[in-house]
């Protein structure tokens, strides 16, 4: 007696008209039982699916529990792939009991009814393995709506896209509580390759150990919308293209792509983007961990490179590496705005710039309530802005970042602009200039109510160094305990407009000149107002402030206090270089400063007199002139 029967056959055993092989195309759904592991004939999976393909209804295929016990032989396909062309439910007994093998000779399932309208196929509780194809989809090829639940796709390979699963459909693709493991593609999408106009939902899925010889080692997906939730993307690898872990995008810049409570870890790329590549779309990341990924070139962890928006919240980007490129943690190069908030960027490395974050091209980055710590790069240990780049930092912490070159925490390339508010920079290190930050030609910065503490530079600018920058504005901020060569806290060279207002500079040290500030303005003006400069030290001159220039820039120190500073050279409080432009000290106090050479309070080595307006320079010490050395005028 045949083991695959119409559900009414049990009540009419003697009626030939009700046997399956004699049925006309059915309208009522049937429940078809697979009772053996043969690849053909009565009771086989192939026979059940062939019968379901003849039905006009959704049939349900189940498996005999008494035969398919744990350790039962797999269903080994010897007759090639199984085609599915009708709505169907394949309900297995669990991936450890129902194993279907392509025998390394064919893919397992081809799902396609040949029409443009998507049918629905649901598969659960099975393992698909050892599928092979010379084109797309080693395990599954689908042009229909597909739901895969509690299943395993492993050990499949495709010469082109989708080693495990290839889906090109305008219907829905849903994958839940499943594993996509150890598949290989010759092009994109080692585990999954999903394209078309529909939506994709992936939840509670592990995608691991897959390989794509081009890009998207674990998954390649470009759909109308994509949702990845509670999933693990681990130990996948891509070759010549980007996206060792996953490569995602939408069909439009407003297409929603969301990742929530998921981990992307241990993925590698032989090119760019070790972990996660985001192309075009509206990307929302929440509770995502991107860690321990690596790329040979740029973007160890995450790269954003399309048109649209990126928002990452409550996420962790840690211990990723861009081995010879930029952006160890994140590489932001999209055409739009990227927002990183309430997140952590830590322990990332790059062989070039931006150990934590690289902002490139036309991207604009907003970083809020985020900790960026322990990152390493050649320039910009934590953050690097390419020429013309824009970024704003608020209520964030930059701690313990390192640049072997310039810019321990951040590096601003030519004409880049950075806004900083309510943020802390501490313990950052630069092997060259700018322990916390370095500004290149024309770069601009605004700093408001922020703290720079204990930063160190082997070169100039213990906290900040600016070489021929654009506008610099620092308001309501504190610079404490920083150390550099010249400019223990800040070294400013030939800036356009420099404004330091209502800020404090305490306990900084310079191994040459300018214990707190080294200020050079050859083109524009430097306005220092309502600042406190105290307890700073220089082994050269200018225990508090060293003014330099080419005789053009106008400098003003107003309503400020310079006290208790020390210089081994001249100018315990303030030193004025011979080439300096006009300096005015107005309504300010210079007191209790010490210089071991000239000018305990003020040493003016210029021929241009310093203009003193209602200022008090007293109780300073120098063996060669306790308070003032050099020409001054009093008004």
Domain presence at residue 206 = yes
- Bigger pLDDT: 241 or 495? 241
Q: In percent, how much of the chain has pLDDT > 90?
A: 86
Structural domain tally of the chain? 2
| Burial class (CB within 10 angstroms; exposed 0-12, middle 13-18, buried 19+) of 146 | buried
- The token duo for 560 is 């400020």
Residues 6+ apart with CB under 8 A from 248: 219, 221, 222, 226, 257, 276, 277, 278, 279, 281, 283
State the Cα angle at 486 between 586 and 442, rounded to 5°: 80
Measured from the Cβ of residue 618, the count of other Cβ atoms closer than 10 Å reads 14
Calpha distance 320→306 (Å, rounded):
21
Q: What is the pLDDT of residue 18?
A: 28
Q: What is the pLDDT of residues 536-594, one digit of tens each?
A: 999 999 999 999 876 566 889 999 999 999 999 999 999 999 887 789 999 999 999 99
Confidence of residue 495 (pLDDT cuts 50, 70, 90): low
| Cα gap 295→323, rounded to integer Å | 6
Range(s) of the domain holding residue 525: 486-635
Q: Other C-beta atoms within 10 Å of 509: how many?
A: 21
| Domain assignment of residue 223, yes or no | yes
User: Looking at the domain assignment, is residue 79 inside a domain?
Assistant: yes
Strand partners, 202: 175, 228
Domain end (from 241, 259, 284): 241
| pLDDT higher than 90, residue 185 | yes
Q: What is the pLDDT of residues 11-57, one digit of tens each?
A: 333 333 323 333 445 456 789 999 999 999 999 999 999 999 998 78
Dihedral sign, Cα of residue 546, residue 551, residue 553, residue 554: positive
Whether 349 is covered by a domain: the verdict is no
Average pLDDT value for residue range 255-266: 98
Q: Which of 460, 632, 626, 470 is nearest to 546 (CA)?
A: 460
Is pLDDT of 3 > 90? no
Average pLDDT across the chain, whole number: 93
The pLDDT assigned to 523 comes to 63
Query: What is the pTM (predicted TM-score) of this model?
Result: 0.93
Does residue 587 fall inside a structural domain? yes
Q: Which of 193, 212, 241 is the last residue of a domain?
A: 241
Confidence of residue 7 (pLDDT cuts 50, 70, 90): very low
Residue where one domain finishes, among candidates 241, 258, 283? 241
Please give the Cα distance from 105 to 541 (Å, whole number).
Answer: 80
Q: How far apart are CA 579 and CA 574, in angstroms?
A: 15
Please indicate, yes or no, if residue 308 is contained in any of the structural domains: no
Domain-embedded: residue 383: no
CA–CA separation, 424 and 442 (whole Å): 24
Task: Assess if residue 583 is contained within a domain.
Answer: yes
């Amino acid at each position: 007696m045949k083991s695959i029967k119409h559900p009414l056959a049990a009540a009419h055993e003697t009626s030939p008209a009700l046997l399956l092989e004699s049925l006309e195309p059915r309208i009522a759904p049937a429940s078809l039982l697979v009772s053996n592991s043969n690849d053909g004939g009565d009771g086989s999976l192939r026979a059940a699916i062939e019968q379901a393909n003849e039905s006009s209804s959704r049939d349900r295929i189940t498996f005999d529990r008494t035969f398919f016990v744990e350790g039962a032989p797999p269903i080994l396909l010897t007759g090639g792939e199984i085609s599915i062309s009708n709505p169907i439910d394949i309900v297995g007994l669990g991936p450890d009991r129902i194993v279907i093998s392509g025998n390394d000779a064919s893919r397992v399932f081809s799902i396609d009814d040949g029409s443009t309208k998507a049918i629905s196929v649901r598969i659960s509780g099975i393992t698909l393995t050892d599928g092979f194809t010379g084109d797309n989809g080693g395990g599954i090829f689908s042009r229909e709506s597909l739901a895969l639940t509690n299943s395993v796709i492993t050990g499949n390979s495709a010469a082109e896209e989708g080693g495990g699963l290839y889906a090109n459909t305008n219907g829905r693709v849903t994958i839940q509580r499943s594993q996509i493991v150890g598949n290989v593609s010759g092009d994109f999408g080692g585990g999954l390759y999903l394209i078309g106009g529909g939506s994709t939902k992936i939840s509670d899925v592990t995608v691991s150990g897959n390989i794509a010889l081009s890009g998207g080692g674990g998954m390649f997906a470009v759909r109308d919308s994509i949702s990845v939730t509670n999933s693990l993307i681990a130990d996948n690898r891509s070759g010549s293209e980007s996206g060792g872990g996953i490569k995602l995008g939408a069909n439009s810049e407003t297409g929603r792509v969301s990742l929530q409570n998921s981990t992307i870890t241990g993925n590698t790329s032989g090119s760019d983007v070790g972990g996660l590549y985001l192309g075009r779309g509206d990307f929302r990341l929440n509770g995502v961990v991107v860690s321990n990924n690596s790329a040979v070139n740029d973007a160890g962890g995450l790269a954003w490179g399309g048109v649209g928006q990126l928002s990452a919240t409550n996420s962790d980007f840690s211990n990723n590496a861009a081995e010879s490129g930029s952006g160890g943690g994140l590489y932001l190069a999209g055409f739009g705005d990227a927002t990183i908030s309430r997140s952590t960027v830590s322990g990332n490395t790059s062989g070039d710039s931006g150990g934590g974050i690289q902002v490139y091209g036309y991207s604009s980055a907003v970083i809020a309530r985020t900790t960026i710590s322990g990152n390493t790069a050649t320039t910009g240990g934590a953050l690097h802005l390419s020429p013309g780049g824009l970024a704003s930092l608020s209520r964030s912490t930059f701690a313990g970042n390192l640049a072997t070159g310039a810019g321990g925490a951040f590096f601003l390339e030519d004409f880049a602009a950075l806004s900083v508010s309510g943020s802390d920079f501490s313990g950052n290190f630069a092997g060259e200039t700018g322990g916390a930050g370095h500004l290149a030609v024309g770069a601009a910065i605004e700093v408001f109510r922020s703290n720079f503490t204990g930063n160190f530079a082997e070169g100039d600018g213990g906290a900040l160094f600016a070489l021929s920058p654009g506008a610099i504005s620092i308001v309501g901020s504190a610079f404490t305990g920083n150390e550099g060569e010249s400019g223990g806290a800040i070294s400013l060279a030939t800036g356009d407009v420099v404004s330091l207002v209502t800020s404090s500079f305490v306990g900084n040290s310079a191994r040459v000149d300018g214990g707190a500030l080294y200020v050079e303005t050859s083109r524009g003006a430097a306005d220092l107002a309502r600042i406190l400069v105290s307890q700073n030290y220089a082994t050269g001159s200018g225990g508090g402030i060293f003014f330099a220039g080419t005789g053009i820039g106008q400098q003003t120190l107003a309503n400020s206090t310079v006290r208790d500073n020390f210089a081994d050279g001249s100018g315990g409080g303030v030193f004025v270089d011979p080439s300096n432009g006009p300096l005015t000290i107005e309504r300010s106090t210079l007191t209790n400063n010490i210089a071991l050479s000239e000018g305990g309070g003020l040493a003016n080595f210029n021929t241009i007199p310093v203009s003193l307006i209602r200022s008090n320079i007293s109780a300073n010490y120098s063996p060669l002139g306790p308070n003032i050395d050099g020409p001054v005028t009093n008004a």
